[in-house]
Amino acid sequence: LRRARSATGPAKAAADGVEEHVEKLVGMHGEMGEAVFDSLGSEAAAKERSSHNEAQAAAFDSSADFFASAEAIPPEIEPKLQRIAEAAAAAGPKVVDVGTGAGALLPFYEAAGIDLSGVVGVDLAAAMLGHARAAHPSATFWQGDFLEFEPEAEAAATAAEGEEPPPVDPAVAAGAIGTRDAVVINACFGNMFDQGAVLRHAISLCKEGGRVVISHPLGSDFVEQLREKDPGLVPHPLPSRDALDDMVKFQPVRVVEFRNDSDDFYLAVLERTPTRAMPRPMRLAGPVGSGFGRGSRKLGFPTANLAASLFGEALADVPTGVYFGWATIEGDEPGCGRAHKAVVNIGMSPTFEEQNPEKIAEAHLIGECGFEGDFYGKVMRMTLVGSQRPELKFPSFPMLVAQITKDVKDAEEALEMSPYNTCRWDPWLKRATLDKGYAAPVGSVPEWGFVPFNDLLEDVADEMQGMSWQELAGMPPPPKPGSVADTGGGGSASGIHPSWGG
């Protein structure tokens, strides 16, 4: 009992200290709004990104000296900042610190084992960055809108003074791969003009396995207080778990940690993955045509090709790139009539000297499919449910082969997971008559359609005699011809997202 009572004093003192800090910051927020009015002549009800950014810079420049002082980080806040830094450090040492301000997180990055030479701080406010540069000369700082912080800007920011920045890898410039281990958006996500755009850009900067960390050491309730005080400077709340899931459901990330708890601490950690779901899966069917024979002869990955011209203008606006899903070949021969995992390049094959004369969907069916001979002229049906990367021109064939090998592995693994694994039961793959999502008469070839993910899953559930698609996620694949059906159970469907609509 004595121990419990003795702990009450320090705990109460800490709570009182945080409360006083919050009251001070909320009060300062009103003063920052006045600084914006004095600087720009309006109260930052910005309807355009540029004017919003000007307001943010003016507001924080007016309080830069405070944010650079020891008073800005009470001792009670330090453990939370350390936890945020550790969440980033778990992914690696190359960090972009968005809204770095006066460099509040940089000492905590160092304590977490990150060399500050690998950290780039990004901020709109020149006075804030002046304090950060003075306190942390080994880090790199870049002033401007984070959405304009592209790989070229990063290369220029990190180049030594007087030196030309190194050339940017084309795959990096195209957004196919990132260069950063982590992008941290601390204590500023509510201030962003467009949270979705900021989050998408942060994801694009991360390498596979990298992390996007959204955090606030004073929690979402504090951000809501600031928003009520001045919605021009803080136009958005911190997203709830459901709202965050909705923001990223078609992005190549998964949420690995989420805290929005009674300790007034907000922490969301997202990890970049090699695949993402498509808002509107593609259904394509047509006769397999002959190509250049390059997939099998030169690369070791035989493909079945469908020319884009089969589908009118339907694929004209589909971005070139690598997709994955399920495919069937119509017929009664071995391997036909059942769904196979597929990785599909839709594009022009730019690495080859002789590019495709038109956009082509080149499908590689994964694994031992049981076919005897080729299937030119036979009808192939595909349901493409996810995307992997843009189409790129590689400097050499070995680099292309290495990337295709990875694409195949990533697609195969994704198609074992919910909700993608349920889509093998799409009745479209069996040439069933469906009444939605089509731009060609059902039953004719070629056929095509684009449907919201929820509609696809409902079709699958209807096909399996009314079973829920959560139940279907645990079903084994259909047996191969001539084999004994596996009657064992399947995996859990707990990872399925509840709202895959388009």
- In eight-state DSSP terms, residue 410 is H
Q: What is the DSSP letter of 323?
A: E
| d(C-alpha 410, C-alpha 165), whole Å | 33
Q: Which of 54, 271, 362, 463 is catalytic?
A: 362
Residue 249, Cβ density class (10 Å: 0-12 exposed, 13-18 middle, ≥19 buried): middle
Residue 76: phi and psi, rounded to 5, are -65, -20
Local structure of residue 176 (DSSP, 8 states): S
Spell out the alpha helix ranges (H) of 326-385: none
CA 162, 168, 173, 179: dihedral to nearest 10 degrees? Answer: -90
Burial (CB count within 10 angstroms: exposed 0-12, middle 13-18, buried 19+), residue 334: middle
Give the CA angle between residues 436, 442, 444 to the nearest 5°.
Answer: 155
Q: Do 112 and 135 form a contact (C-beta atoms < 8 A)?
A: no
The question of whether 362 is a catalytic residue gets the answer: yes
Pairing of strands 206-216, 180-186: parallel
HSE, CB side, 13 Å, CA atoms: give it for residue 436. 11
Instruction: For 100-165, give the DSSP string.
Output: -TTTTTHHHHHHTT--GGGEEEEES-HHHHHHHHHH-TTSEEEES-GGG--HHHHHHHHSPTTSPP
At residue 126, the 3 state secondary structure works out as: helix
* Integer Cα distance of 146 and 140 in angstroms: 14
414 closest CA partner among 342, 362, 355, 359 = 342
Q: Which residues are catalytic?
A: 362
